[in-house]
Amino acid sequence: MVSVPPAATTSVAVSAPPAGAPSSATATSGAPSPSPRGARCRTAELRASVGREDPGAGQVNHPVVLTNVSARTCTVQGYPGAAFVDDSGRQLGPDPRRGPESPARVVLAPGGSAWAGLSYARPEISGARTAVPAALLVTPPDERRPLRVPWTAGGVPVAGNESVVTLTALRPGSGT
């Protein structure tokens, strides 16, 4: 995974929302403040999920959400890893391409979330060869161990015309 050095980032603080309320975020530019913002989130401190489909013109879009399930504040920055896999854990199709945006550091209070957008052309329109994954493996930035999320959204493009899957950098909130 490629990560952006901390000196070249924008910090985004995310507070844990009250039950049923959306996440709130504030952004600050420049050097990190000396206040305790937490260290990098580790895989064991996060839960991954895939949000509901947000269809576009010929596109399939899903938020891939990382939620801090630990009791401490921690940060994520950059792009999560993502791989569609079959029941045996074999990867289906290539790794997603990364979007062009500049990653920002997202500070996650306990219960706070960050999301990345997962997008691809609708296979029935693009003519891409498809497979139906058993799961999406999501690896938090700068971590090696993935989180397994059952995939229930049907076939995904794995080869052929318009088979490219893209993933954006993490940003605050749940993507809904």
Q: How far is it, in rounded angstroms, from Cα 107 to Cα 105?
A: 6
Q: What is the chain's mean pLDDT, rounded?
A: 81
Q: How far is it, in rounded angstroms, from Cα 6 to Cα 10?
A: 8
For residue 163, pLDDT beyond 50: yes
67 falls within a domain: yes
Query: What residues make up the domain containing 95?
Result: 6-172
Dihedral sign for Cα atoms in the order 88, 145, 77, 113: positive
What's residue 37's pLDDT? 61
pTM score of the predicted model: 0.78
For residue 125, pLDDT beyond 90: no
121 falls within a domain: yes
At residue 17 the predicted structure's pLDDT band, cuts being 50, 70 and 90, is very low
What's residue 35's pLDDT? 40
What's residue 160's pLDDT? 73
What total number of domains does the chain contain? 1
146 falls within a domain: yes
What's the longest Cα–Cα distance across the chain?
Answer: 52
12 falls within a domain: yes
14 falls within a domain: yes
- 58 against 75, higher pLDDT: 75
1 falls within a domain: no
Q: How far is it, in rounded angstroms, from Cα 100 to Cα 98?
A: 7
At residue 161 the predicted structure's pLDDT band, cuts being 50, 70 and 90, is low
131 falls within a domain: yes
Query: What order do you get walking across the sheet with 135-139 strand by strand?
Result: 81-85, 135-139, 147-150
